[in-house]
Structures are given as C-alpha cells and as structure tokens.
C-alpha cells in the first residue's frame, strides 16, 4: 500500500492516483468517523464540530481563503458561552496557572515513585527539590493572596514548572518559540475552565509577531530574567 508510510498533515488524507502515486487530499468532513458527545470540539468560528477530523477537514477545504486561515480549534467540547475576561481576572490568571503547573509536576513525580515514565531523570531531580520542600501548598483552590504570598516567599519553586511547560509545548519545531498550533493543546483543554487563557496568551505576545518566545512566556508568569 503506497499510503502506508505516507504522512499527511491534519485535515488531509492519503490518496493513490491512477499511476499508483500517493498524494495528500482534503479529508471529506462528511466521511469522518462518528464520534461521542464528549469528543465534540468548538472552532474559532463558534461552530460545534463532531470531532477534530471534521474541523480540520473543513479547514482544509477552505484552504487559501480568509475563513480557512482564521479557522482553528478553539477548545474541547461543544461551543458554549465563554464569559468576557476582565482586567482583574487576567492579572490573577498567572497566579493560578503557576500553582497548577507546579501541582501537575508534583503528581507526575508521585506517580513516578511507583512506575517511572512520566518524567526524565533530569526532570525528576529538579522536581524532587520542589517536592521535598514542606512549605509547598497542597493542591486545591487557594485564595489569590495566599498564592501571591507563596510565590514571593518560595519563588524558586515556581521557576522550573513554568520553564517545563514551555518546553513541553515547544515541539513542532523545537525553536524556543510557541506558535498558535503549539499552544493549542494547552489552550483547547483549558478554555472551558479558564476563560482568560486566550487573552492571557494574546497579551503574552509582547511584540505581536504571533509567536511567544521563552522570554515573553517567563515575563507573563512573573519569572525574572
């Protein structure tokens, strides 16, 4: 099968022509496999798609048009009303996000104690220092004042989680810059719970070049040079 190891980007599928040569063509959205309700996604056009196959197939068919360029995955789940993010809320967002990233690493570290595989050896040694610090906040919903106080008092414990998340996202390609599509996995899963994440990332892009550099990312989270 000529299509066996022939890779097509999202929204396209491999098709063999009469000469037996493989090429990539747009996925027909109507031919996408059926999905469950929880697999529905919301596009930036505020339309609910049955799944990512249907969304990216539609985007591919609109290639070259303004609508196609503007269509992206907005968030996981059916479209719903996302409240407006106020100035006050966007200022508080990094506090919650830093705490959340730190707690994710704590959970990975705890799981690795039983079965390794979540973190590399280098990552484990960095997280171990944070984990062993008894002053750390337990995972949960904390008041903004408490999060701010903990950040100021235990600043060193928040630096690595912020760097770690950047490098987890910086994959295609690894160039110390985050594109819209590299941010998508984090954004898309968080929008329904954290409605300020879109505005936060827009404001993170200080030079408005549609890329978030490591320096811009750290600045947004209050991490010094």
DSSP string, the chain: -TTTT----TTEEEEE-TTS-EEEEE--GGGSPP--GGG-EEETTS-EESSHHHHHHHHHHTTTSHHHHH--EEEESS--PPPPPPHHHHHHHHHHHHHHHHHHHHHHHHHHHHS--SS-HHHHHHHHHHHH-TTPPPSS---HHHHHHHHHHSTHHHHHHHHHHHHHH--TT-SSEE-HHHHHHHHHHHTTT-TTHHHHHHHH-TT-SS-EEHHHHHHHTT---
pLDDT tens, residue by residue, 132-163: 875 567 777 788 888 888 898 889 899 999 99
Domain range spanning residue 204?
A: 87-221
Tell me: do 124 and 58 sit in the same domain: no
pLDDT of residue 88: 93
Supply the mean pLDDT for the chain.
90
* 81 within some domain: no
pLDDT of residue 140: 74
Tell me: do 126 and 155 sit in the same domain: yes
Tell me: do 37 and 111 sit in the same domain: no
| Count of domains for the chain | 2
* 82 within some domain: no
pLDDT tens, residue by residue, 165-204: 999 999 988 999 999 889 988 888 888 888 999 999 999 9
* 6 within some domain: no
Tell me: do 100 and 68 sit in the same domain: no
pLDDT tens, residue by residue, 85-142: 999 999 999 999 999 999 899 888 888 877 767 888 889 888 988 888 755 677 777 8
**CATH number of the domain encompassing residue 120:** 1.10.238.10
The pTM assigned to this predicted structure is 0.76
């Amino acid at each position: 099968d000529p299509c066996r190891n022939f890779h097509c980007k999202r929204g396209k599928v491999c098709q063999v022509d009469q000469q037996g040569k493989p090429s990539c063509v747009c996925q027909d959205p109507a031919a996408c496999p059926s999905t469950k309700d929880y697999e529905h996604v919301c596009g930036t056009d505020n339309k609910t798609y049955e799944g990512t196959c249907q969304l990216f197939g539609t985007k591919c068919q609109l290639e070259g048009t303004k609508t196609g360029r503007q269509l992206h995955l907005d968030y996981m789940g059916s479209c719903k009303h996302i409240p407006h993010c106020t100035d006050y809320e966007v200022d508080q967002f990094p506090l919650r996000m830093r705490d959340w990233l730190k707690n994710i690493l704590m959970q990975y570290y705890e799981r690795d104690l039983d079965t390794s595989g979540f973190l590399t050896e280098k990552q484990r040694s960095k997280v171990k220092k944070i984990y062993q610090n008894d002053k750390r906040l337990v995972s949960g919903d904390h008041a903004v004042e408490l999060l701010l106080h903990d950040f100021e008092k235990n600043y060193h414990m928040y630096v690595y989680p912020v760097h770690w998340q950047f490098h987890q996202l910086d994959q295609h390609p690894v160039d110390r810059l985050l594109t819209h599509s590299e941010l998508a996995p984090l954004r898309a899963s968080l929008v329904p719970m954290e409605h300020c994440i879109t505005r936060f990332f827009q404001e993170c892009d200080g030079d408005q070049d549609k890329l978030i550099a490591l320096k811009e990312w750290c600045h947004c989270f209050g991490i010094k040079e």
